[in-house]
Amino acid sequence: MAGVSRLQHTTEMRLIRVMCTGRVDPSHILKAFSKGIDGVFIGGCRLNECNYTTQGNYHALNLVLFFRKIMEHIGLNPERLTLEFMSSSESNVYVEVVNKFVRKVKELGPLGKGEGLDENGFKLKLQALTKLIPYIRLVENERLRAHFLKEKEYEDFYSSDEFNELFSELIGDKLAISEIMLLLREKPLSSGEISEVLGLNQSDLSRHLHNSARQGLVRYEESQWRFAHA
């Protein structure tokens, strides 16, 4: 409709069509960021105006708020990911919100660099997240997806202490272990070296290493005072 109405929006976006925002998956968002895309914009039907009986836009709202929490956890500005609801006839709204988002992303700067993240450490986090996608998808569907009627209720839930505790337990710890496994695949490292690279305190690192060793994922090489991938 924007083209038909001769409304111009920025050309600095690559459009990917999906049948419904409910089809957007965590892997789609992560793939974009892994390829260096500076921001991801998702546009969907207004809540309670879904073209399908699945109400996929509620799923998209859950996903975006959840993934923004992941971004915040790894040091990315969550404003690099946004979801806007509009009807297909609101071409003027589409152009306005898209142009506003692009301006915001430009202000944030290049992905990672704008946040002052170490390039190698940032790549490691993205790789660790990629390996966790099947698990993240399952957790988001089964444990963390909320069911409310209003957008504000979703926002309140995803900023609540209840959600933060669940996130730390279900995602934060798994991500740290995934990062540790990737590091140890390269070479054996001491706990101090792992702590320095990942920025983990010794208490949390010891807990992760102990749990990983118990599961047979890592082993301790006493002769070198190093941990190695099992």
The total of structural domains in the chain comes to 2
Whether residue 62 lies inside any domain: the answer is yes
Contact 176, 198 (CB under 8 A): yes
Closest to 25 in 3D by CA, of 140, 156, 126, 131: 140
Whether residue 146 lies inside any domain: the answer is no
Query: Does residue 123 sit in the same domain as residue 212?
Result: no
pLDDT more than 70, % of the chain: 95
**Rounded to the nearest 5°, which phi and psi values hold at 199?**
70, 25
Give residues with Cβ within 8 angstroms of 25, minimum separation 6: 63, 137
Q: What is the pTM of this model?
A: 0.90
CA-CA distance, 36 to 32, in Å (whole number)?
Answer: 7
Token couple for 131: 């390996």
End-of-domain residue from the set 97, 131, 165:
131
Average pLDDT over residues 149-175: 94
Whether residue 214 lies inside any domain: the answer is yes
Whether residue 159 lies inside any domain: the answer is no
Q: Which residues of 148-160 are buried (b: 16+ CB within 10 A; e: fewer)?
A: eeeeeebeebbee
pLDDT more than 90, % of the chain: 73
Contact 198, 179 (CB under 8 A): yes
**Calculated CA dihedral for residues 72, 77, 81, 84, nearest 10 degrees:** 100
Whether residue 113 lies inside any domain: the answer is yes
Query: Does residue 126 sit in the same domain as residue 200?
Result: no
Whether residue 16 lies inside any domain: the answer is no
Whether residue 173 lies inside any domain: the answer is no
| pLDDT one-digit tens code per residue, 80-97 | 999 999 987 788 888 899
Whether residue 3 lies inside any domain: the answer is no
Cα 38–Cα 39–Cα 42 angle in degrees, nearest 5: 160
pLDDT for position 94? 87
**Rounded to the nearest 5°, which phi and psi values hold at 20?**
-160, 150
Domain that holds residue 95: 21-131
End-of-domain residue from the set 98, 131, 164:
131
- Split at pLDDT 50, 70, 90, the class of 3 is very low
pLDDT for position 167? 95
- Split at pLDDT 50, 70, 90, the class of 9 is low
pLDDT for position 8? 62
Average pLDDT over residues 4-20: 73
End-of-domain residue from the set 89, 106, 131:
131
